[in-house]
Amino acid sequence: MSVLGIDFGGTKVALATADGGPPLRDTLRLPTLAPAGAAQVVERALAAARTLTRRPTAVGVSTFGVVSRDRIRLAPNVPGWDGLELPRLLREEFDATPVVVHNDVNAAATAELRWGALRGVDLGIYLNLGTGLGGALIAGGRVLTGAHGAAGEIGYLLGADPTRCFATGNAPLEEMASGGALATRGAALLGRDITTVSELFDLVDRPDIAALLDTAVDALAAAVANLCIAVDPQRVVIGGGMMSAARHILPRISALTARAVPFPPEIVAARFVHDAPLMGAIALALDAAQDVPRR
Amino acid sequence: MSVLGIDFGGTKVALATADGGPPLRDTLRLPTLAPAGAAQVVERALAAARTLTRRPTAVGVSTFGVVSRDRIRLAPNVPGWDGLELPRLLREEFDATPVVVHNDVNAAATAELRWGALRGVDLGIYLNLGTGLGGALIAGGRVLTGAHGAAGEIGYLLGADPTRCFATGNAPLEEMASGGALATRGAALLGRDITTVSELFDLVDRPDIAALLDTAVDALAAAVANLCIAVDPQRVVIGGGMMSAARHILPRISALTARAVPFPPEIVAARFVHDAPLMGAIALALDAAQDVPRR
């Protein structure tokens, strides 16, 4: 058995084959070339897939955006991706081979469930604190994708001013506390580019940087505590690029959760950080392959 | 087949038998006499149960508080109820008969799933806006009780000041927006007692009352919108005593949800308002009875 995983990201597409769990067999990366639109990304990715494997047992795909009713939604990063019928295009390519498509955060949560920090967890929460913010709910040991594929889209959580919201083109929590927002605001304060959020945490002696980070981490901690109050999970697993500053972020999230949640869950770092969505695509493919008769 | 339902409330205990869905067969109510403690409530309730039925097929019980690891927690209303091993006491009384115990909001959600506004809903939210605030998550067509029985305890959701929280003895959303909080604050403003929240809504020409209600309904609406962003439910069903003012509350919750949630769910009133937990206890008993061999 060999499965194929494809992770469509805003800047790169990653592909891999695997025979089971980690390690991966062959991997391949290509730039998304976002301004050139959705069609060329899909075409180049499928051409690359053919060089990796001709007959995978199953295909798992992770993508930015929300997979809703066989189309991708809420995916502004690549022109044409919003509304794209990605599942249909993939079924046409792979014919009778099972294909599963989820958004990148749900895929990453699937990898954590299968091999990582969510193993054995019946009721849990996975959070991805990266350039954007996303989450996934785990119930019955499975990822709950939501009625429209949008469960865990925590970037839209309301802040103090509820008039700034999805309808006004805002994603309040993401604009306050995501890695992307912190990089943009930090760069403006410093007058130079920022590569990772941990660079900012190294500069907390500057009051303006400290204030920026405090506001963000406080907002994240309150959001996590409120999610835990609502869901009462066993465990919260946190991944994503902001985990480069995990030692500054996790203890503050844990501390507020311990105070604000009647039965506080464990708060732990994810196993997969950089390659979580690709590992998730492989995990989705392996799940789908279980339903395929052996050849 | 005849099942027994018992609803332990802060001021009254309600009991009923039923042969299936509504209507109930026999019902009975007794005062909780809370200051006299937990033991006498359980004893009098079980004595009353014996007068209703000698051999129920199954017993469903709803109680205030959280049912966590075979004890009741977060139940300060009746001395001795917090920590009470209610499931054990019930098993001793009813011997081999199946007994299911849930908190009152989870029980009410079970009634809505079986006969009410959550029928056929796979992923949903039930909210009880009453003297206190509570909620239940529905996934896979079942109530998710949480890892410690505390899923949906929305009264503890944090407000603007996260230092006021569970650890400080506060329940921030409940203190701002519950029927109990509004009755207390409204009575203080008016200099007289308030029976229902709808009495306050009849006095919105008074600026102080209007401000009180606006703050509360805005906080409820933001909490519902954030729950919907996190869970992406098909439908939100709202019950509880505050629904006497449903026409003032539901449209404002629906309006914010429609703006703030990427894929807004339906927001509808519950079918069971006054007797929801008792109907829920019956629903729990009927669920348990399905697993019992016919006699």
3-state secondary structure of A255: helix
Residue type present at position B28: L
Q: How large is the average pLDDT for residues B17-23?
A: 90
pLDDT value at residue B164: 97
Nearest of B183, B181, B178 to residue B194 by alpha carbon: B183
- Would you state the pLDDT for residue A21? 83
- Whether B292 shows a pLDDT value over 70: the answer reads no
- Helical segments of A83-233, H only: 86-94, 104-115, 172-177, 179-190, 197-201, 207-231
Query: Is A157 an interface residue toward B (CB < 8 Å)?
Result: yes
**Percentages (nearest 5) of helix, strand, coil residues in chain B:** 45, 20, 35
Of A235, A142, A217, residue with least CA distance to A179 = A217
Q: Which of B148, B158, B265 sits opposite A263 (nearest CB)?
A: B148
Q: Is A217 on the interface with B (CB under 8 A)?
A: no
Chain A residue nearest residue B262, CA to CA: A166
- Contact across the interface for B260 and A165, Cβ inside 8 Å: yes
Tell me phi and psi for residue A292, to 5 degrees: -95, 130
* Whole-number Å distance between alpha carbons of A212 and A219: 11
In this structure, chain A runs to a length of: 295
Q: Cα-Cα-Cα-Cα dihedral of A196, A180, A283, A113, to 10°?
A: 80
**Structure tokens given for A16:** 């891999």
Residues A212/A189, Cβ–Cβ less than 8 Å: yes
What's the CA gap between A114 and A120, in Å, rounded? 9
Mutant choice from A126, A143, A231, A236 vs B, greatest count of B C-beta within 10 A:
A231
β-partners of residue B138 are B124, B143
- Please give the Cα distance from B120 to A160 (Å, whole number): 35
The pLDDT assigned to B295 comes to 47
Which tens digit of pLDDT belongs to each residue from A150-197?
A: 999 999 999 999 999 999 999 999 999 999 999 999 999 999 999 889
Q: pLDDT tens digits, residue range A205-248?
A: 999 999 999 999 999 999 999 999 999 999 999 999 999 999 99
Using DSSP's 3-state secondary structure scheme, residue A58 falls into coil
Q: Cα distance from B160 to chain A (closest Cα, Å)?
A: 7
| A101 confidence band (pLDDT: 50, 70, 90) | very high
Thinking of the domain A120-269, which architecture would CATH place it in? 2-Layer Sandwich (3.30)
* Widest CA span in chain A: 63
Judged by phi (left if over 0) then psi (alpha if -120 to 50, else beta), residue B146 lies in left
**What's the half-sphere exposure (Cβ side, CA atoms, 13 Å) at A122?**
8
**Band of pLDDT at residue A295, cut at 50, 70 and 90:** very low
- Cβ distance of A137 and B230 shorter than 8 Å: yes
Element (H, E) at A7: strand A3-8
The mean pLDDT of B87-91, rounded to a whole number, is: 95
Spatial separation of the C-alpha atoms in residues A233 and B104, rounded to whole Å: 20
Percent of chain B clearing pLDDT 70 (strictly above): 99
Superfamily of domain B3-107+275-289: ATPase, nucleotide binding domain (3.30.420.40)
**C-beta atoms of B233 and A262 within 8 A:** no
Residue whose token pair is 């009453």:
B130
CB-based contact, B230 to chain A, within 8 Å: yes
Position A36 pLDDT exceeds 90 = yes
Decide if B97 contacts B60 (C-beta within 8 A): no
Specify the amino acid at residue A61: V
Quick check: A259 and B154 CB within 8 A? no
- A102 phi, psi to nearest 5 deg: -135, 165
SS3 label, residue A129: strand
Cα separations (Å) of A219 from A67, A167, A176, B241? 27, 21, 8, 32
Sequence-ordered strand ranges (E) for B152-245: 235-239
Ranges for all domains in chain A classified under CATH 3.30.420.40: 3-107+275-289, 120-269
Instruction: Over range B241-266, report the average pLDDT.
Output: 97
Residue A294, pLDDT score: 55
Closest CA to B233 of B244, B224, B241: B224
Task: Give A145's contacts in chain B (Cβ within 8 Å).
Answer: 232
Region B60-76: what's the mean pLDDT?
94
* Segments of chain B assigned to CATH 3.30.420.40: 3-107+275-289, 119-269
CATH number of the domain at B119-269, please? 3.30.420.40
B187 lies within 8 A of chain A by CB: no
Give the CB-side neighbour count of residue B20, counting CA atoms within 13 A: 0
**Whether the Cβ atoms of residue A62 and residue A277 lie closer than 8 Å to each other:** yes
Alpha-carbon gap, residue A175 to B201, rounded angstroms:
36
Residue B28 burial (C-beta neighbours within 10 Å; 0-12, 13-18, 19+): middle
Question: Tens digit of pLDDT for each residue in A55-73?
Answer: 999 999 999 999 998 999 9
Q: Give B251's contacts (C-beta < 8 A, 6+ positions apart).
A: none
State whether ipTM is beyond 0.90. yes
Q: What is the mean pLDDT of residues A119-123?
A: 97
Residue B270 binned pLDDT confidence (cut-offs 50, 70, 90): very high
At residue A50, the pLDDT reads 96
CB-based contact A225 B154, cutoff 8 Å: no
Residue B2 CA to residue A156 CA, distance in Å, equals: 48
Asked if B157 reaches chain A (Cβ–Cβ under 8 Å), the answer is: yes
pLDDT score at A224: 98
Q: How far apart are CA A212 and CA A185, in angstroms?
A: 8
